[in-house]
Amino acid sequence: MDHSHEVLARAGHRSGAARNAVIDLLGRQECCLSAQEIYDLLRAEGERTVGLASVYRAVDLLAGLELLQRVDLGDDVARYEPTEPTGAHHHHLVCLDCGRVRPFEDARLERALAEVAEAQRYAMEGHDVVLRGRCPVCQAA
């Protein structure tokens, strides 16, 4: 994403092979990936040797610039996905059997969250929602 490179440059960061590879890979992804998954995928693509530490550094920096959103599915592994430029965001359904993650959006849910924050007089900056259950495929099996 050009937008990412622009934000990085404006924040005084230089361009680097490892970080560029991470940005490119995540930009092509549809849902969240863990640092290890990013590392493995980059290796699989064989582009270049990217260190795992560089992946962690990249996602950490990008998340700090709000170019990535950190997603925590409760399995002690941090995942990251690109932030929607529109401000839109989705949440995740995790299947307890197959482990697959599927994104979803729901306006009513967002509204309920906003109302809770307001009622409690919290200035909400973000929220995480994870639904756990069995996906249609695993229920059939």
Q: How far apart, in Å, do the first and last CA atoms of the chain sit?
A: 40
30 sits near a copy of itself (criterion: CB under 8 A): no
Q: Residue 60 — φ and ψ, nearest 5°? A: -65, -45
Q: Does 134 bind a copy of itself (CB under 8 A)?
A: yes
The backbone torsions φ and ψ at residue 3, rounded to the nearest 5 degrees and listed phi first, read: -55, -45
Other C-beta atoms lying within 10 Å of the C-beta of residue 14: 7
135 binds, among a copy of itself, DNA, none (CB under 5 to 8 A by kind): a copy of itself
Stretch touching a copy of itself by CB under 8 A, among 20-28, 29-37, 48-56, 113-121: 113-121
Distances (CA, A) of 31 to 12, 16, 73, 90, 117: 28, 24, 12, 10, 27
Stretch that binds a copy of itself, among 5-13, 20-28, 38-46, 114-122 (CB under 8 A): 114-122
Of 13 and 104, the one with the shorter C-beta distance to a copy of itself is 104
Distance in angstroms (rounded) separating the CA atoms of residues 17 and 59: 14
Q: Which does 127 bind (CB under 5 to 8 A by kind): a copy of itself, DNA, none?
A: a copy of itself
Q: Does 112 bind a copy of itself (CB under 8 A)?
A: yes
Q: Which stretch binds a copy of itself (CB under 8 A): 2-10, 15-23, 54-62, 127-135?
A: 127-135
